[in-house]
Amino acid sequence: MRFSYYRGFSEETKYLILSLILPSVAFGMFFTDISYFLTVVQGLPSDFMGIIITTMGVSAFAGSIPLGIAADKYGKRKVLIIGNITASVAIAVFALSTNPIILLIAAFLEGISEAASFASASSLLADKCNATQRNGAFALYGFAQSLAFGVGSFTLSGVIIFESFGFNNQISHVILYLILAGLGLLSTLLMLKIKESKILKNPKTKLRNLLPVKSKNVIAKYVTTSAIIAFGAGLIVPLMTYWLKLQYGVSDAVSGPILGISSIIIALSILPAPYLAKKLGTVRAIVLTQAASIIFLITTPIQPNYLLASVVYTTRAFLMNMATPLAQSMIMGLVTKDERGAASGINVALWRLPNALSTSIGASLMGLGFLAEPFFISGIFYSASIILFWIFFKKTKMPEENIQCQQKT
């Protein structure tokens, strides 16, 4: 692995990546724990937990395209800041209320914050670096994000610390949620140091001309494969603490750090991604690593204990997520610069909706005692997505790959 891929970034690129670390810590804790927190800690039924997670996904779907268009028209940094503030508020509300209506409102806000953050962060990062730096920038962003997610999962062990001071389990969870919501909010100060992107559409542009017409073919192919894999992922990934509890009787104070280790290993797996893309080509690197992960996905639920299951699941995550920054970099490199926000919004929308719908299905299956089936069904969707991705993009060469070929000649 060559660290030269991670040098020469602008100051704003570094600020952007740093500003996303604390919100990722908060999200890491939240997404790792929410299925456990709502059911085991707050005492809500598993089907309502599934509805909450589905609501987050549906609102993220609904908000992603409008917010992606708004990012292209009014400013990616503005949308990013709005998303970060909204996310912090939503996490705090989840901690402080068990009222179903309030929780549904919080879930809606969380989904909107997700849409705002993901629709703007990737496109803003692509604007701040050139084509030859892009894979490295997205890999570094992915590394920092996965590492932060891991730290967020590890913070669940803080529940034990708060309990040692005399707080009960529920109050200890509330304290942890509020602390991380506050830390995420502080990141807004770093976001203010980033200049607004200069690649914006004319504010007077009509709505129909804000849609990514020039890049519609590549976006359609990319989001089709992304949506299929999102449905498969939703069946299990957001529910792992809940699944480990049902399958092995493991509490979130134990499973959270285990999943935190998984996120840290994912972070380390991302670092060689630019080198792998250069050697194999971006498309081949994505396909090979994701295809290999399916073996470990379908063997996770047949392990005899939670430690072996965690090792196998972590291996799956290692391989599947190695390619994530390459896929994000790929779509940002293929669409035109003034359509990146809208492209990000469409991608987020068509990821979150199927992901949220399948999470509700996965939660219901697990609640009924079907603990292995979600993994097998997920493997079918992963396989279909990878095959389609190869069919659509096997002949695609990225702009930076063409530059490298020219330099060799």
What whole-number percentage of the chain has pLDDT above 70?
92
Domain that holds residue 178: 3-196+213-408
- Asked if 247 and 302 touch (Cβ cutoff 8 Å), the reply is no
- At residue 199, the pLDDT reads 56
- Number of independent structural domains in the chain: 1
- At residue 409, the pLDDT reads 41
Residue 208 located in a structural domain: no
What are 292's two structure tokens?
């290999």
Residue 341 has pLDDT above 90, yes or no: no
Residue 207 located in a structural domain: no
Q: Is the dihedral of CA 144, 147, 150, 156 positive or negative?
A: negative
What are 106's two structure tokens?
């919080």
Q: What CATH number should be reported for the domain holding residue 283?
A: 1.20.1250.20
- At residue 202, the pLDDT reads 54
**Residue at token pair 């389609």:** 388
Residues 151-203: pLDDT tens digits?
A: 888 888 888 899 999 999 899 999 999 999 999 999 999 998 888 766 555 55
Whole-number Cα distances in Å, 370 to 18, 259, 367: 41, 21, 7
Residue 104 located in a structural domain: yes
Residue 393 located in a structural domain: yes
- At residue 209, the pLDDT reads 57
DSSP of 177-197: HHHHHHHHHHTHHHHTTSPPP
Q: How far apart are CA 145 and CA 18, in angstroms?
A: 9
Residue 372 has pLDDT above 60, yes or no: yes
Q: What is the mean pLDDT of residues 344-362?
A: 82
Residues 263-305: pLDDT tens digits?
A: 777 788 788 878 887 888 888 989 999 999 999 999 999 999 9
Residue 19 located in a structural domain: yes
More confident residue, 169 or 356: 169
Q: What is the mean pLDDT of residues 37-44?
A: 88
Residue 229 located in a structural domain: yes
Residue 7 has pLDDT above 80, yes or no: no
What whole-number percentage of the chain has pLDDT above 90?
35
Residue of 364, 366, 361, 355 lying closest to 59 (CA atoms): 355
Q: How far apart are CA 198 and CA 312, in angstroms?
A: 45
- At residue 367, the pLDDT reads 87
Q: How far apart are CA 302 and CA 215, in angstroms?
A: 43
Radius of gyration of the chain from its Cα atoms, rounded to whole angstroms: 20
pTM to 2 decimals?
0.71
Lowest mean pLDDT among 139-143, 145-149, 210-214: 210-214
Q: What is the mean pLDDT of residues 331-351?
A: 79
Residue 158 located in a structural domain: yes
Residue 205 located in a structural domain: no
- At residue 407, the pLDDT reads 45
Residues 202-216: pLDDT tens digits?
A: 555 555 556 667 778
Residue 2 has pLDDT above 60, yes or no: no
Residue 406: band (very low, low, confident or very high) from pLDDT cuts 50, 70, 90:
very low
